[in-house]
Amino acid sequence: MLSDCHILVAEESETLGLLIEEVLLRAGAAEVTLVSSTEAALVAIAVLPDRPGNLALIGRYVLGGWREPILAALRARHIPMVVDSASDLGPDAGVVVLPKPFGAMALVEALRAALSTKVTSM
Protein backbone atom coordinates (compact mmCIF):
# COMPACT_ATOMS: atom_id res chain seq x y z
CA MET A 1 0.00 0.00 0.00
CA LEU A 2 2.97 2.34 0.41
CA SER A 3 4.37 1.38 -3.00
CA ASP A 4 3.38 4.64 -4.72
CA CYS A 5 4.10 6.85 -1.73
CA HIS A 6 6.63 9.62 -1.37
CA ILE A 7 7.07 10.09 2.37
CA LEU A 8 8.60 13.16 3.98
CA VAL A 9 10.15 12.35 7.37
CA ALA A 10 10.96 15.36 9.56
CA GLU A 11 12.87 14.07 12.56
CA GLU A 12 15.44 15.87 14.71
CA SER A 13 17.40 12.69 15.49
CA GLU A 14 19.41 11.61 12.46
CA THR A 15 19.78 8.07 13.83
CA LEU A 16 16.03 7.65 14.35
CA GLY A 17 15.37 9.24 10.96
CA LEU A 18 17.62 6.72 9.21
CA LEU A 19 15.93 3.82 11.00
CA ILE A 20 12.51 5.14 9.97
CA GLU A 21 13.69 5.57 6.38
CA GLU A 22 14.87 1.95 6.28
CA VAL A 23 11.55 0.68 7.66
CA LEU A 24 9.58 2.70 5.09
CA LEU A 25 11.69 1.57 2.15
CA ARG A 26 11.39 -2.06 3.26
CA ALA A 27 7.61 -1.53 3.52
CA GLY A 28 7.62 -0.54 -0.14
CA ALA A 29 7.67 3.27 -0.11
CA ALA A 30 8.62 4.60 -3.52
CA GLU A 31 10.69 7.42 -2.04
CA VAL A 32 11.60 8.78 1.40
CA THR A 33 12.87 12.31 1.97
CA LEU A 34 14.56 12.69 5.34
CA VAL A 35 14.98 16.16 6.85
CA SER A 36 15.90 17.35 10.33
CA SER A 37 15.12 21.06 10.24
CA THR A 38 12.07 23.23 9.74
CA GLU A 39 13.71 25.03 6.83
CA ALA A 40 14.60 21.80 5.02
CA ALA A 41 11.09 20.44 5.56
CA LEU A 42 9.48 23.56 4.11
CA VAL A 43 11.71 23.35 1.03
CA ALA A 44 10.92 19.65 0.59
CA ILE A 45 7.18 20.31 0.88
CA ALA A 46 7.37 23.14 -1.67
CA VAL A 47 9.00 20.94 -4.31
CA LEU A 48 6.84 17.83 -3.83
CA PRO A 49 4.91 17.16 -7.02
CA ASP A 50 1.12 17.25 -6.63
CA ARG A 51 0.05 13.62 -6.62
CA PRO A 52 -1.77 11.09 -4.50
CA GLY A 53 0.58 9.15 -2.28
CA ASN A 54 2.41 12.07 -0.71
CA LEU A 55 2.63 11.53 3.05
CA ALA A 56 4.53 13.04 5.96
CA LEU A 57 5.78 11.80 9.33
CA ILE A 58 6.55 14.74 11.58
CA GLY A 59 8.37 14.51 14.91
CA ARG A 60 7.44 16.71 17.86
CA TYR A 61 10.59 18.77 17.51
CA VAL A 62 12.77 19.57 14.52
CA LEU A 63 16.00 21.52 14.39
CA GLY A 64 15.38 25.21 14.02
CA GLY A 65 12.11 25.36 15.86
CA TRP A 66 8.70 23.88 16.42
CA ARG A 67 6.78 21.94 13.82
CA GLU A 68 3.84 24.33 13.37
CA PRO A 69 5.14 25.87 10.10
CA ILE A 70 5.63 22.37 8.70
CA LEU A 71 2.12 21.28 9.65
CA ALA A 72 0.67 24.45 8.12
CA ALA A 73 2.55 23.88 4.84
CA LEU A 74 1.36 20.25 4.70
CA ARG A 75 -2.24 21.30 5.36
CA ALA A 76 -2.04 23.96 2.65
CA ARG A 77 -0.98 21.25 0.18
CA HIS A 78 -3.54 18.74 1.60
CA ILE A 79 -0.79 16.22 2.36
CA PRO A 80 -1.80 13.55 4.92
CA MET A 81 0.43 13.38 7.96
CA VAL A 82 1.35 11.32 10.98
CA VAL A 83 2.67 13.01 14.11
CA ASP A 84 4.39 11.37 17.07
CA SER A 85 2.57 13.48 19.64
CA ALA A 86 -0.59 15.55 19.53
CA SER A 87 -0.27 17.39 22.82
CA ASP A 88 0.14 20.68 20.97
CA LEU A 89 -2.68 20.03 18.48
CA GLY A 90 -6.41 20.49 18.78
CA PRO A 91 -8.80 17.53 18.75
CA ASP A 92 -9.78 18.14 15.11
CA ALA A 93 -6.27 18.48 13.76
CA GLY A 94 -6.86 15.99 10.92
CA VAL A 95 -3.70 14.03 11.63
CA VAL A 96 -2.95 10.45 12.62
CA VAL A 97 -1.17 10.26 15.97
CA LEU A 98 1.57 7.68 16.52
CA PRO A 99 2.85 7.95 20.09
CA LYS A 100 6.49 7.13 20.86
CA PRO A 101 7.87 4.61 21.32
CA PHE A 102 6.54 2.86 18.22
CA GLY A 103 7.51 -0.22 16.26
CA ALA A 104 7.86 -0.76 12.54
CA MET A 105 4.39 -2.27 12.08
CA ALA A 106 2.69 0.54 14.01
CA LEU A 107 4.54 3.09 11.86
CA VAL A 108 3.46 1.48 8.59
CA GLU A 109 -0.14 1.09 9.80
CA ALA A 110 -0.28 4.76 10.88
CA LEU A 111 0.91 5.90 7.45
CA ARG A 112 -1.64 3.65 5.76
CA ALA A 113 -4.34 5.18 7.97
CA ALA A 114 -3.14 8.67 7.03
CA LEU A 115 -3.68 7.89 3.35
CA SER A 116 -7.42 7.76 4.01
CA THR A 117 -7.46 10.92 6.15
CA LYS A 118 -8.94 14.06 4.61
CA VAL A 119 -6.61 16.98 5.24
CA THR A 120 -8.12 20.45 5.43
CA SER A 121 -6.50 23.79 6.01
CA MET A 122 -7.02 25.15 9.51
- The domain spans of the chain are 6-115
CATH for the stretch 6-115: 3.40.50.2300
State if pTM tops 0.75.
yes
d(CA 60, CA 70): 11
Run of H or E including 46: helix 38-47
| Paired sense of beta strands 81-83 and 65-66, if any | unpaired
d(CA 121, CA 77): 8
Mean pLDDT by 10 residues, the chain (122 residues): 89 91 95 93 92 87 79 91 72 75 92 81 56
